Amino acid sequence: MEEQLRIEHNAVQNAGSGIAITDPDGIISYANPAMCVLWGRETEDGVRSTSIQDLFCEPAAVTDVIGRAASSRNWNGELKACRQDGNSFYVFTSATSCVDEDDTVTHIVFSFVDTTRRRLDEEALRLYQDHLEDLIHERTTELERINNDLKREIAERLRIETDLRDAIQKLREHDQAKNMFVSNVSHELRTPLTALIHAIESLMRGVAGAVPDPVVSYLSMMLEDCWRLDRTVCDILDLSRIEAGRLELNTANIPIRRMVERTVESLRMEAEGVPLTLEMIAGVHNGFVDCDAAKMERVVINIVNNAIKFTPPGGTVRVGIEQQGRSGVEGVCCRITDSGIGIPAEYINRVTERFFRVGEQVGGTGLGLAIAKEIIERHQGQLDITSPPPGADKGTQVTIWLPTTTPQRVMIVAYDRGVPHVLEPAFLKQGYLVSSYPNAQHALQVLHDGHHHIVIVDSTIPDMDGSEIVMHIKADPILRRLPVFLLAEDKPAPARSSILSSFGIPVFLKVDGMPDLIDAVEDAFLPQRIGIQELHAP
């Protein structure tokens, strides 16, 4: 028993929890070392014979615990204790009463575990939870405010979107009305304008009798102004078509040099009226491009007109043609260079904008370069503007670059070897490809391959008359659109001439019509327009 008591005593003495034994009134009779450490006492004597109530911040609560333990044998709970230095701490307390044979409480055993750290952690957790709840409440309030703001913004954007949709619809309606108005007005202008041009041209041809030179001069000015107005109307119509996405290109394989030369010549009298020098510098060979000849001619007219308009008297406007590749693509450049007032550097990138004009007192609509750029780019080309031109201190250079295509192939159907002998070198010099066939049947078969663009027929072929060949071509649905030219020894009889004329077949004499034939072939795919120079020709 002594050994058992010794073991139990050692266990209590070395226990990690504080243990105290008191009498029923709370006077401490025993305290183990762990309890002394908890209360900051050096030895057991520091707490023995002390009332256990004095070790806690609320003695009455401890007295109540003693009473509860005495009545129910056990009590468990947390109490706030007070160390000798005055610092407080929390302990989890277990109180158990011990009784004798008469069921009388003889003493009470207290067990203490320090819960200060846990209490502090719980308090910190509580404070954090309170802070988190405040933060969540704050964030929730902020999100509700943001959500309400977003709802108002969405409602406002929906209203704006509805207003914008209505405005766009109205703009479309106005744009359609504007396009219809522009189209109607332009067509109304073109009808009398076309009649006026035809009347002036007829007068200058002398259909109403000989016209004196002074009158011819006035008629020429009137005709030039009519053409200028016609170009303006065409610009407005093209702008309307571009905006509506309805600009169509009627492309054909054309000799670009011939088109530019002819266009420049049509403006020569306008240049001489300034006066200034208008020069045409062309390369040896033609470049052939797939383009809408009428629209490209107007592009050149607009640019050369600008050069003439902004070049003072005594100046020079040069138009040059040369072969030039870009980014690995073969092409041809048309450069219009003038010695005029030039374009300020800050306006170079804006002159191709619609309705933009440099200066305060400038004529024109401001559409020429804008439409020119649009048309050139639709031909896969490029428009470059430099002011001043390279190597000059004034003036402007406008460059039109277009990709080239395979040259036109001319078919010569002639049994007489003298005809291809004369024509082949002339066409090859102009850059055309030429094929000659002495047999009419063979030539008609080859035409169906689709590799030829122009046909020249000699009237004297053994296996088929030249006029008959022409009729075969015009009667064929596949070949009827080919330009056909007839070579003859003499003028055809009136009946045959009438038939050929009804099919639009020009007839050229072998003796002196070869140069005219070459010019006609060059003009075959170009717009048909009578120039002032032609009207003045004897």
For 253, residues 6+ apart whose C-beta sits below 8 A from its C-beta are 288, 289, 290, 405, 406, 408, 453, 525
Shared-domain flag, residues 259 and 399: yes
Q: What is the pLDDT of residues 258-268, one digit of tens each?
A: 889 888 888 88
The SS3 call for residue 242 is helix
pLDDT, mean of residues 408-437: 87
Q: Is residue 276 part of a domain?
A: yes
Question: 163 vs 157, 168, 169, 176, CA distance in Å?
Answer: 9, 9, 10, 20
If asked whether residues 273 and 357 sit together in one domain, one would say: yes
pLDDT at 81 over 80: yes
Strands 433-437 and 454-458: unpaired
Separation CA 309–CA 319 (nearest Å): 15
Residue 155: predicted pLDDT: 92
Pair (63, 107) in one structural domain: yes
Is residue 230 assigned to a domain? no
The band of 538, judged by pLDDT with boundaries at 50, 70 and 90, is: very low
Which has more confidence, 318 or 41? Answer: 318
**Is residue 282 assigned to a domain?**
yes
The larger pLDDT score, comparing residue 417 to residue 500, is at 417
Question: 3-class SS at 470?
Answer: helix
Q: Domain check: are 31 and 106 in the same one?
A: yes
* Residue-level pLDDT at 529: 52
Tens-place pLDDT, residues 169-206? 888 888 777 767 766 776 777 788 888 888 888 888 88
413 vs 45: CA distance, rounded Å:
143
End residue of a domain, out of 99, 114, 129: 114
More confident residue, 537 or 52: 52
Question: What CATH number is associated with residue 377?
Answer: 3.30.565.10
Mean pLDDT in residue range 416-435:
86
Could you tell me if 101 and 150 lie in one domain?
A: no
Q: Taking residues 296-316, what's their average pLDDT?
A: 89
Banded model confidence at residue 530, pLDDT cuts 50, 70, 90: very low
Domain boundary among 378, 403, 428: 403
Per the DSSP assignment, residues forming a β-bridge with 104 are none
Domain end position, chosen among 403, 418, 440: 403
Confidence of residue 531 (pLDDT cuts 50, 70, 90): very low
Same domain, 256 and 388: yes
484: tokens are 């056909």
**Per-residue pLDDT at 319:** 93
**Same domain assignment for residues 208 and 146:** yes
CATH classification of the domain holding 532 = 3.40.50.2300
The answer on 280 and 137 residing in a single domain is no
Q: What is the pLDDT of residue 399?
A: 93
pLDDT of residue 537: 36
Same domain, residue pair 295 and 356: yes
In this prediction, residues 158-166 reach a mean pLDDT of: 91
Whether 534 has a pLDDT exceeding 50, the answer reads no
Residue 383 forms part of a structural domain: yes
What CATH number is associated with residue 22? 3.30.450.20
Give yes or no for residue 285 having a pLDDT over 80.
Answer: no
| Alpha carbons 452 and 253: distance in angstroms, whole number | 11
Other beta carbons within 10 angstroms of residue 473's beta carbon come to: 22
| Angle in degrees, 0-180, between the axes of helices 440-447 and 466-475, rounded to the nearest 10 | 20
Q: What is the pLDDT of residue 181?
A: 73
Q: What was the pLDDT predicted at 513?
A: 66
- 125 domain-assigned: yes
Residue range 372-379: average pLDDT? 88
Domain assignment present for residue 299? The answer is: yes
| pLDDT for the residue 318 | 92
Per residue in 120-151, pLDDT (tens digit) is 888 888 899 988 999 999 999 999 999 999 99
Range of the domain at 141: 121-220
How confident is the model at residue 193, as a pLDDT?
Answer: 82
Asked if the structure places residue 256 within a domain, the reply is yes
Same domain, 441 and 517: yes
359 has a pLDDT exceeding 60: no
Counted domains in the chain: 4
Q: What is the DSSP string of 158-201?
A: HHHHHHHHHHHHHHHHHHHHHHHHHHHHHHHHHHHHHHHHHHHH
Indicate whether 104 and 48 sit together in one domain.
Answer: yes
Residue 5 lies in a domain: no
By the 10 Å C-beta count (0-12 exposed, 13-18 middle, 19+ buried), 309 is classed as: middle
pLDDT for residue 336 = 92
The gap from C-alpha 96 to its chain's centroid, in whole angstroms, comes to 89
- In what helix (H) or strand (E) does residue 497 lie, and over which residues does it extend? helix 494-502
- Same domain, residue pair 415 and 520: yes
